[in-house]
Amino acid sequence: MNLLVTTIQSPSFMIEELAQQIATRLQVPFIPRDRHAIIALRSHYQVENIVVITKNGPIVHTLGGEYFFHLNMAELRIKNLIGGKNDHMVTAMSLVAGMSVLDCTLGLATDAIVASFVVGQAGKVVGLETSPILAFIASYGLQHFTHDDEDITKALRRIQVIPKHCYEVLMSLPDNSFDIVFFDPMFRQPIYNSSNLKPLRYLADNSPITESALAEACRVAKKRVVIKETFHNNEFDRLGITTTYGGKYSSIKYGVIKVEN
């Protein structure tokens, strides 16, 4: 893996110990920081990505900038839901409390957090992420980030993260395992200008959804398979999806396959 783990300069014993544990978990080298700059470590060890352990959690330094766990748009979307507003993803999924969701492309975990909030304690959300770094950042953040709203914090804690490719997991699951199977391959055709998201383009898997993975998703889903895409590409046509949801002026659309297993 094109990665190493280090710490902030002059770390405490606890931070250095945590960094060593995380390096072991990711199966990459731990390099003591001393007073070396990130650019110097990158050059000396010939790696592009460096995880720096800080007192506030891990930060990934990529060629596109820094990335750390944050709620992104999940917080605003949850507040809108609480205020009675519509969320296009929730509508496309026909999501209600108690349902189960398999997020095949966890990434930022934004959609998984919103889904977990909606399905509640009786529901289940599992996130799959093929990038080991993204899976680690998401898993760590979901287990350690604390929000002022206890219900949002509980929604984070309920999400299970599995660091595997979705096709591998889908192949292993029985029929009708989840109510909803969800895909969001958004980083294949970037639409964001935010500097907070730019680093993910260096970490995320940008492969399109294969027809075989979609077939497995339809087998695993009990109710719906939902795919999030930008409106200006032909992915829905390629995958044979004709039912879509989304705002009239939104650049994002949700393609829906209603399954009858």
- Mean local confidence (pLDDT), 17-46: 95
Same-domain pairing of 45 and 160: no
Confidence tier at 145 by pLDDT (50, 70, 90): very high
pLDDT score of 163 more than 50: yes
The count of domains in the chain is 2
- Mean local confidence (pLDDT), 177-184: 97
Same-domain pairing of 53 and 81: no
Same-domain pairing of 83 and 160: yes
Which residues neighbour 52 within 8 Å (Cβ) at sequence distance 6 or greater?
A: 6, 7, 8, 33, 38, 58, 59, 60, 61
How is the beta sheet containing 49-54 ordered, strand by strand? 3-7, 49-54, 57-62, 65-67
Confidence tier at 124 by pLDDT (50, 70, 90): very high
Whether 69 is in a domain gets the answer no
Same-domain pairing of 179 and 219: yes
Confidence tier at 192 by pLDDT (50, 70, 90): very low
- Mean local confidence (pLDDT), 23-43: 95
Range of the domain at 28: 3-63
Query: Which position has the higher pLDDT, 88 or 185?
Result: 88
Question: What percentage of residues in the chain have a pLDDT greater than 90?
Answer: 78
Say which CATH number the domain at 174 has: 3.40.50.150
pLDDT at 187: 53
Say which CATH number the domain at 10 has: 3.40.50.10480
Same-domain pairing of 36 and 118: no
pLDDT score of 171 more than 70: yes
Flag the least confident range among 108-117, 170-179, 231-240. Answer: 231-240
pLDDT digits 0-9 by tens, 149-158: 999 999 999 9
**Helical axes 132-144 vs 13-26, angle rounded to 10°:** 140
Residues comprising the chain, all counted: 261
pLDDT at 108: 87
Same-domain pairing of 209 and 93: yes
Reported pTM: 0.92
